[in-house]
Amino acid sequence: MAHRKIIHIDMDAFFAAVEQRDHPEYRNKPIIVGGKPDTRGVVATCSYEARKFGIHSAMSSDRAYRLCPQAIFIKPRFEAYKEASCLIRQIFSEYTELFEPLSLDEAYLDVSHNLSCRGSATLIAKAIKQSILQKTGLVASAGISYNKFLAKIASDMDKPNGLYLIAPEQGEQFVKTLAVGKFHGIGKATEKKMHALGIKTGWDLKQQSLSFLIQNFGKAGQYFYNISRAIDHRAVNNHRKSKSVGVETTFQADIKEHAEIIRQLQQLLEKALKKLQDKGLNAKTLTIKIKYDDFVQITRSRTLAISISKAIDTTSILENLLKNTAVGQRKVRLLGVALSSFDNQLLNYRQMDLFDYT
């Protein structure tokens, strides 16, 4: 069977790179995008200049400040990051219809059937990097391999401005020496558990039986068994997997007051919008779910002509949705909010104006 050709693209210091592009005075300087110190904020990301001081994503801004007092702290500008994200997805779509964004700044591309660049995935990755630089002024790293797991690891190997290939004959050897903490899909908690079981590297993982792994890690056991052998059959999926993004909450004590219910729904909506933003998506349909104290559940939804965001009057939409419900009269034990009908991404990217930085 012929191997797939998968590219994983991940932008370098994405938010920080956009800031340095748009503000020349920030270039070559340690900059931190995220919360300011003294606000209990955290670092979303930082420039490579700041990483030299040991600063990294998710660290508290206070700690970052102590490590590098001269660092420049910048409030995130999500609109700018989304715009850059749209542009890179537009570029991906020029090379393959089969691409799967994982977040604003990264995506898998399946270029198995792409005949440009003499069919060389490495040359295609190079061309994509060049096009990204030309059209967005930003630098990306690319990993090339025969499955998603290895392509993702590869994009991290040579950062920043990386281009790294793991060829089919290198895959197994490559995984052998890799620390399990570097495996995509093995987070901090799983890493700790593996260490406790004496599993430190891909080689150690490969020594474990499938039944042992399933016994200790449940469903993920099969995935760990496969990746320790550099096997990953997951296809690049360009269909939006989640048809909706939702959050819900069950109250410790039932609530009844109309104003309180609106307030709770607003909070849930904010959380759902944040989730949506993290996925780089827009939604036009808002659905609310109400479970009364007798466990009877109803939903109400409304689809707008424009994307739902904080910029629109969500309170009046929520008020309207509550009109034909028993809210205010009956006790409520659970509320939920879901956002759906995402924009057709490809269509949107094609509609965007492209601009050149060169």
**Interaction partner, residue 77 (Mg ion, ligand TTP, none; CB < 5-8 Å by kind):** none
We find the least distance from the C-beta atom of residue 306 to ligand TTP, in angstroms, to be: 26
b/e map 268-304, b = 16+ CB within 10 Å = bbebbbeebbebbbbbbebbbbbbbeeeeeeebeeee
For Mg ion, which is the closer residue by CB, 84 or 245?
84
**Interaction partner, residue 311 (Mg ion, ligand TTP, none; CB < 5-8 Å by kind):** none
For residues 257 to 296, the per-residue mask of contacts with ligand TTP, x marking binding by CB under 6 A and - elsewhere, is: ----------------------------------------
**Interaction partner, residue 45 (Mg ion, ligand TTP, none; CB < 5-8 Å by kind):** ligand TTP
We find the least distance from the C-beta atom of residue 234 to Mg ion, in angstroms, to be: 21
28 CB-near residues (< 8 Å, 6+ apart): 49
106 is catalytic: yes
Instruction: Say if residues 241 and 102 touch (Cβ distance below 8 Å).
Output: no
Among 5, 8, 10, 255, binds ligand TTP (CB under 6 A): 10
Q: Exactly one of 19, 49, 100, 106 is catalytic; which is it?
A: 106
CA distance 85 to 239: 18
For Mg ion, which is the closer residue by CB, 152 or 289?
152
Distances 57 to 28, 40, 54 between C-alpha atoms, Å: 19, 14, 10
* Rg from Cα positions in the chain: 23
Report the site for ligand TTP in 52-81 (rule: CB under 6 A). Answer: 57-58
We find the least distance from the C-beta atom of residue 50 to ligand TTP, in angstroms, to be: 11
Instruction: Write out the residues near Mg ion by the rule CB under 5 A.
Output: 10-11, 14, 105
Distance from the Cα of residue 318 to its chain's centroid = 28
Distances 138 to 19, 23, 122, 131, 134 between C-alpha atoms, Å: 10, 13, 19, 10, 8
Catalytic sites, residue numbers: 106
